[in-house]
Structure 1
Amino acid sequence: MVADGALPVVRVDVLGPLRVEVDGDVVAVPGGRRRAVLVLLALAGGRTVTVDALVDALWPDAAPASGRQALHSHVSRLRGHLGPAAGRLVTRPDGYRLDIGDEHVDVGWARALLRTARGVADPTEAFALLRTAEGLWRGPVLADLDDVPPVAAAARECARLRQEVVDALVGAALDSGRADEVVGLSAASAADDPLRETATLLHVRVLAATGRAPDALRLAREFRHRLAEETGLDPTPALGALERQVAGGAGSAAVPRPMDPAGSRLVGRAAEVDGLRHALAQDRLVTVVGPGGVGKTRLALAASGGADATVLLLAAVTDPRAVVHALADALHLAVARGDVLGACAALVGDRDLLLVVDNAEHLLDAVRDTVAALLASCPRLTVLVTSREPLGLAAERTWRLVPLAVPAVDAGGRDLAQVPSVALFLDRAARVRPGVVSSDADLAVVADVVRALDGIPLAIELAAGRLSTFALADLRDRLDRALDLLGDGRPTVDARHRTLRRTIAWSDDLLSADERRLLRHLAVFPDGLDLVAAEHLARAVGVTGDPGTALARLVDASVVQAELGDGTRYRLLETVRAYALDALAAAGERDTAERHLVAWATGLAAHLAAAMASEHEPEADATLRRELRNLRAAFRLARTSGDVDAAAAVVVPLFEAIGYRDLVELRGWALELADDPALGASPWAAGVLGAAAEAAYHGGDLARADDLARSGLAVARDAEDAWSCLLPLAVVELARGTFADSAGHALAAADLLPVPRESLGIAAVATAYAGDLPTARGLLDRGRAAAVSPTMRAWHAYVAGEIDHLAGAVGDAEAHYVEAVRLSRTSGATFVVGVATVGLLTVLTDAGRVREALTGYRDVVDDFARTGNWTHLWATLRNLADLLDALGDHATADLVHGAADAAPDAPADDRRPRTPAAAGPHAVDRADLLATVRAAVDRALAARTVTGR
């Protein structure tokens, strides 16, 4: 036995995906069988698991002859993963033992908490223990190991244990007056096993305790009927007794009703509260405008706090004529007949008063008239209105409330907790499941959740409430069903606030038929549209009148967000978009809307192709990156519907982007389309095959690139088709070192089009590598003269640098490389940035500027690795290896060169002819190789820091 404290603590969590920690640090355990061994040892509770039992578990059908040896190998590797805690995996004469206590395996800890809670007299203390136990489940238990019989059996046992924990937790909540905190959990438990009477009894009690006696009785009746229908059995007498208690009112007061949301702490809005109070000090009529669920009511109440305020709640008022009567009620004024509004104005008179009018959007005309009359009659009255659109009065100051700020995609660390949307989620989550967010990884999941919900407070609060039912990661993974998932599960006076769907429907009902139709059709664009495209869409869907007016109305109604910046862009919050997509399907317009999206995408692709060949390329690059989500949606729609031509019309015009930009996804589209059997009948076939060949080349698959390009040439219908296939052939031959063939393909391509684009530059660099520098310069001059776009100018500057470098004109070469990097950065051509930087680094190395070279190599290696461009990455690594070799790191240099010699996607290197024998001993894991290289660069930089060189 290993003494406690002698080795680092190992924790194994199995109540979800397998998670292993060594002294608090998460350790990855790859390989299904290796993970299964660790799980079986952890579940054994410190007992020895025999070799025979482990072999039978790993190979349940028939163990191979090498099974025991393979098991030993897995155990050995597990020790490697455990690192300094490897000694906790103990070898015994007949098997293996994992030396950790039950408290370090989450399922053991859950059992211990359940045992302790059952022995505690105080229900509040029991509730806290059981809440901790229930929070240990993080998702489906070991779902990736369900093909290992003992693990599958353990997962079923964990499910039964969770059932016990949940039952005990709900019971403790009822006993401690906290039924409102387990409504969702008890509902999910009853739904998981609809014939389990214990779960149903508990949920009936919860519903009754939270003031939902009719729902409780209905649930009991449905269970009785379902049990009889499906099993022929009757429930136990306990159900009848409970029904009588609920029907008689017993239990309904056992738990207080949940606090109204407006009574909970306002989080993340301190600046807005101060700003709104300042606005109220300056203006007599301020309207807080924003989408449903953004928190207008709560902000208004917070801003009015401490003032002599009267609150007029209009959510339940549906008749415009009733507004003045509701006002009288709010002022505690009894008016039996006569001029109700006049009586209200007389009561207010000239005293200082703040009138808060909440939820005015569905009664705009009546509220407008009422407020105007009050302001005219009551000189010291201030009115604060909440609405989804302004009243439209001249004296009105509009205060637009936007959703809470969400974290940037790359944000991380504990600072996430200070972001307003995250802070709100944490505040509400702590009320549902204290301690559910306990690590930086959990915070990152919360950041994903609030981003997916666009920072809408109502959505965030409802999501946090669902932690009573879902683990944090499971909640995130189900947010595509947010409209229906995020119901608050409790009765409210205003039923439209019970779910996001009803909240959004309230706004939708206030729109005209044209406006609703435009909203529905905007929803198929996942990232919104700019003004021109949105107006074009409005005309296409038959909006009458000025399309800009319809868009403005949607913005005023707070269902569309207008993002003002470099032009106006109209987008829908994700929750509104989900609602609109459902409405689109219900209206039978989904196909039409999707055709609009695909037509927009094909038109945009054609526009981008023309713009990228011009001086307007930087703007085109920005547009392409901005519209990538919409293009992705259009491409997927075309693929799903089997419209090969439409998909091709999106991909083929983006040939230049596939070749020069780090948008790896576009390469995948081209390769996917090239594999479609239906492509052969398409007029776009050659263009697709050429684009796919370019994509395969940048992915390092030279053989596939060659095959695709030659297949495309065989079916080419015009010069553009042939050019798009000859160009990848040229660069493939360049990578192979067959320079004459490369130049031949490039020159043939140059003759096909009025503007040769990069063709002459490729011919020039191939000719230079072959040793004919004068001819190369002539080709370069011809290509450079025709270059218009920044990328083409950058490409030819790079070629000039290569030629000058070969000629020994190092200073000129450096200037050309620097110019190539500068130009390509302005246009987004990351590929040219990479190759030109590599050329520049060789110049820096030759000039003895080693620190600059090492730093540059580290960055460019990461860039090529990120985009999967191993052909150019191998060339970069070889150059870096030469530098490391010169610095004395011969081992790393030999490793790199050997790996490159063995790699089929590495470009030819005439200094190191490839031999079949080279492939064997030097074949390495590429991720390990890159890690080794990065470490070598760091060592070299550190050494130069120490020596000052």
Structure 2
Amino acid sequence: MNELRTIQTDVVMEFGPFHYYVQRRLILQGDRPLRLGSRALDILHLLLEHAGNVVSKETILARVWPTTVVEEINLRVHIAALRRALSDGKGGKHYIANIPQRGYSFIADVQLTSADELAPHEPNGKPLHNLPGRLSPIFGRDAVVDELIRKLPTRRLMTLVGAGGMGKTTIALRLAELLLPHYHDGVYLIDLSVLVDPTLVAAKVARTLGLAPLSEHDPCDLGRYLNSRHLLLVLDNCEHLIENCAALIEGLLRNAPRLTILATSREPLLTDGECVQRLDGLTIPPRSLALEAAIGCSAVQLFVARVEAHLPGFVLREQDVAVVIEICRRLDGIPLAIELAAAQVGMLGLRGLLGQLEHCLQLLTHGRRTAASRHQSLRATLDWSYALLSPSERTVLQRFSVFKAALSLDMALSLINCMQLQEAQVFEAITQLVAKSWLEVEMIDSVVHYRLLNTSRTYALEMLRGSDENRQVLQRYAGHKNMRVIQGGYKQS
């Protein structure tokens, strides 16, 4: 069994006022994260690896753009951006030299150290964090991570919101490890998914920080303890304890002016000062895209990487690109769903997998044994979220599931309201289903429409078929002039 590697195994390359954390792909100028695009960072990494030596343009192009043919002008543009970011040439500091007809060389002195030496520590040498090591790469989230890295030092409460399986925890941990050097008193992860009693949220935080049990003190002691500390707390999986989490977070932020909180939840906390970042699925290429272009899309990258992990030697062929794109499309670009599907390729093949995705909830059941129970299957993830809905929200969700096409608010209100649910109740339920990451919002002809993701719709249809009103709903919508029955569901005519 693989053991978790702490992030302190990271190698750090120091030059001038900069520290480059190799494993975390983070560069700091002092304690400030430096914003670099992924290509520029790849180039810097390569030049630092060969500091003092000339790296040919051909070598750089092959490393940074391995599957794409690009012009040399692309390289020059990224080199120029890299020089600007490093203030190369200012104050007599020079880092990257152009060697005519040969390539580029990193000419400044580079020192190798360990992140363990630079990260915050207690006086006894114990690291001030409890973050696990990352064992696999992250696909398609560079843009959102870059944006949040810029925001977090100035936004004291950030909530990552998204449907189950979107990778909220993964992104939160990535941000936490990148920002670890910035917080002098450390970074701590508090996993709330195992907590059932909402009154124990404060005690869980205190226990993670190594404080005495709060039952012996007033919970306000936690705020007083944090008052002078420069900390980042990651509160993961707040949705089932949301009212208590919101109250605690707001109180802590008022009492501890140097505290920052990064929360993950399937709905916003709705507290003072909250900044919400919603997560969508990974990018899915158009169906007609060629191999080289398709492999640049994050959903395809993740799928191929996970298939390769299960089937060493797997290579995506041109004739299979359309199938893989359609698999990612059926799974809405949801990272967890893509990972679970990729594990089935060895048994079903690519085309067999696509054919079975109509029954995706039964198919996507073999996750990592070490994952949280709700992440070991797609159904478990949806069950966790469905259990948090009110009865009226469940009813509206089930009724939405009969529509493949997106519905405007007026159409949804007219089609879904009934004797049990009046229009105002339907409107409130739709609002909550959007907030809780069940319904997607999209603009069609400048009008807001709502729809379910394919995976969520399949689940909601199953819930409808198992309900007492299944027959009534089928009869009602079967008679609607704009609907027609198709395989037990409905489709816009």
**In 2, Cα distance between equivalents of 1:520 and 1:427:** 35
Among 411, 415, 426, the alignment partner of 1:547 is 426
Alignment of structure 1 residues 495-644 onto 2, 5 Å: 495-540=373-418, 542-544=420-422, 545-565=424-444, 566-600=446-480, 602=481, 604=482, 631=483, 634-636=484-486
Alignment of structure 1 residues 784-803 onto 2, 5 Å: none
1:301 aligns with 2:173: yes
**In 2, Cα distance between equivalents of 1:589 and 1:485:** 27
RMSD of aligned residue pairs (Cα, Å):
2.4
Secondary structure of residue in 2 paired with 1:282: coil
Secondary structure of residue in 1 paired with 2:275: strand
- Per the TM alignment, residue 557 of structure 1 is displaced from its structure 2 partner at its CA by 0.6
Name the structure 1 match of 2:220: 342
Q: What runs of 5+ residues in structure 2 fail to find an aligned partner?
A: 1-131, 181-185
Of structures 1 and 2, the one scoring higher in RCO (CA 8 A, sep 6+) is: 2
**In 1, Cα distance between equivalents of 2:310 and 2:133:** 14
**In 2, Cα distance between equivalents of 1:292 and 1:272:** 18
| CA 417–371 in structure 1, closer or farther in 2 if over 3 Å, else same | same
Alignment of structure 1 residues 114-153 onto 2, 5 Å: none
1:382 aligns with 2:260: yes
| CA 336–393 in structure 1, closer or farther in 2 if over 3 Å, else same | closer
Alpha-carbon contact 1:522-1:528 (below 8 Å) kept: no
1:231-276 deviation per Cα after TM superposition (whole angstroms, max 9, x unaligned): xxxxxxxxxxxxxxxxxxxxxxxxxxxxx99642111110010112
**In 2, Cα distance between equivalents of 1:553 and 1:415:** 38
AA matched with 2:430: L
AA matched with 2:437: S
**In 2, Cα distance between equivalents of 1:321 and 1:447:** 45
Name the structure 2 match of 1:273: 145
Instruction: Give identity over the alignment, percent.
Output: 35
Alpha-carbon contact 1:354-1:382 (below 8 Å) kept: yes
Secondary structure of residue in 2 paired with 1:272: helix
Name the structure 2 match of 1:940: none
Secondary structure of residue in 1 paired with 2:420: coil
1:284 aligns with 2:156: yes
Alpha-carbon contact 1:309-1:355 (below 8 Å) kept: yes
TM-score w.r.t. the length of structure 1 is: 0.36
**In 1, Cα distance between equivalents of 2:435 and 2:133:** 26
Name the structure 2 match of 1:198: none
Among 366, 369, 380, the alignment partner of 2:247 is 369
Structure 1 segments, 4+ long, off by >6 Å, are: none
**In 1, Cα distance between equivalents of 2:140 and 2:357:** 22
AA matched with 2:169: T
**In 2, Cα distance between equivalents of 1:375 and 1:344:** 11
Alpha-carbon contact 1:357-1:385 (below 8 Å) kept: yes
| CA 493–457 in structure 1, closer or farther in 2 if over 3 Å, else same | closer
- Per the TM alignment, residue 418 of structure 1 is displaced from its structure 2 partner at its CA by 0.5
**In 1, Cα distance between equivalents of 2:133 and 2:228:** 33
Name the structure 2 match of 1:433: 311
Alpha-carbon contact 1:328-1:344 (below 8 Å) kept: yes
1:443 aligns with 2:315: no
- Per the TM alignment, residue 510 of structure 1 is displaced from its structure 2 partner at its CA by 1.1
**In 2, Cα distance between equivalents of 1:296 and 1:277:** 15
| CA 564–352 in structure 1, closer or farther in 2 if over 3 Å, else same | farther
- Per the TM alignment, residue 546 of structure 1 is displaced from its structure 2 partner at its CA by 4.3
Secondary structure of residue in 1 paired with 2:293: helix
Alignment of structure 1 residues 377-416 onto 2, 5 Å: 377-416=255-294
Name the structure 1 match of 2:190: 312
- Per the TM alignment, residue 351 of structure 1 is displaced from its structure 2 partner at its CA by 2.0
Alpha-carbon contact 2:162-2:279 (below 8 Å) kept: yes
**In 1, Cα distance between equivalents of 2:135 and 2:351:** 29
| CA 473–436 in structure 1, closer or farther in 2 if over 3 Å, else same | farther
Alignment of structure 1 residues 65-84 onto 2, 5 Å: none
Alpha-carbon contact 2:207-2:213 (below 8 Å) kept: no
- Per the TM alignment, residue 379 of structure 1 is displaced from its structure 2 partner at its CA by 0.2
**In 1, Cα distance between equivalents of 2:267 and 2:205:** 20
Secondary structure of residue in 2 paired with 1:356: strand
**In 1, Cα distance between equivalents of 2:134 and 2:382:** 19
**In 1, Cα distance between equivalents of 2:364 and 2:287:** 23
Alpha-carbon contact 1:268-1:421 (below 8 Å) kept: yes
- Per the TM alignment, residue 531 of structure 1 is displaced from its structure 2 partner at its CA by 1.5
| CA 388–420 in structure 1, closer or farther in 2 if over 3 Å, else same | same
1:613-649 deviation per Cα after TM superposition (whole angstroms, max 9, x unaligned): xxxxxxxxxxxxxxxxxx4xx1547xx89xxxx99xx
Secondary structure of residue in 2 paired with 1:346: helix
**In 1, Cα distance between equivalents of 2:218 and 2:378:** 36
| CA 263–318 in structure 1, closer or farther in 2 if over 3 Å, else same | farther
Secondary structure of residue in 1 paired with 2:332: coil
AA matched with 2:400: L
Alignment of structure 1 residues 149-298 onto 2, 5 Å: 263-298=135-170
**In 1, Cα distance between equivalents of 2:474 and 2:221:** 56
1:335-357 deviation per Cα after TM superposition (whole angstroms, max 9, x unaligned): 26323633332332222211111
AA matched with 2:389: L
| CA 537–426 in structure 1, closer or farther in 2 if over 3 Å, else same | same
**In 1, Cα distance between equivalents of 2:371 and 2:284:** 30
- Per the TM alignment, residue 325 of structure 1 is displaced from its structure 2 partner at its CA by 1.6
**In 2, Cα distance between equivalents of 1:340 and 1:599:** 61
1:351 aligns with 2:229: yes
AA matched with 2:475: R
Alignment of structure 1 residues 40-51 onto 2, 5 Å: none
1:498-542 deviation per Cα after TM superposition (whole angstroms, max 9, x unaligned): 111111111111111011000001101122312111111331373
AA matched with 2:201: V
**In 2, Cα distance between equivalents of 1:635 and 1:461:** 32
**In 2, Cα distance between equivalents of 1:304 and 1:431:** 26
**In 2, Cα distance between equivalents of 1:480 and 1:340:** 53
**In 2, Cα distance between equivalents of 1:529 and 1:443:** 31
| CA 581–327 in structure 1, closer or farther in 2 if over 3 Å, else same | same
AA matched with 2:434: V
Alpha-carbon contact 1:328-1:340 (below 8 Å) kept: no
**In 2, Cα distance between equivalents of 1:408 and 1:347:** 53
Q: State which structure, 1 or 2, has the greater radius of gyration over its C-alpha atoms.
A: 1
Alpha-carbon contact 1:414-1:443 (below 8 Å) kept: no
**In 1, Cα distance between equivalents of 2:191 and 2:419:** 37
Alpha-carbon contact 1:412-1:440 (below 8 Å) kept: yes
- Per the TM alignment, residue 394 of structure 1 is displaced from its structure 2 partner at its CA by 2.2
Name the structure 2 match of 1:474: 352
| CA 262–507 in structure 1, closer or farther in 2 if over 3 Å, else same | farther
Alignment of structure 1 residues 747-762 onto 2, 5 Å: none
AA matched with 1:445: V
Alpha-carbon contact 1:531-1:568 (below 8 Å) kept: yes
AA matched with 1:561: E
1:162-197 deviation per Cα after TM superposition (whole angstroms, max 9, x unaligned): xxxxxxxxxxxxxxxxxxxxxxxxxxxxxxxxxxxx
TM-score w.r.t. the length of structure 2 is: 0.68
| CA 409–385 in structure 1, closer or farther in 2 if over 3 Å, else same | same
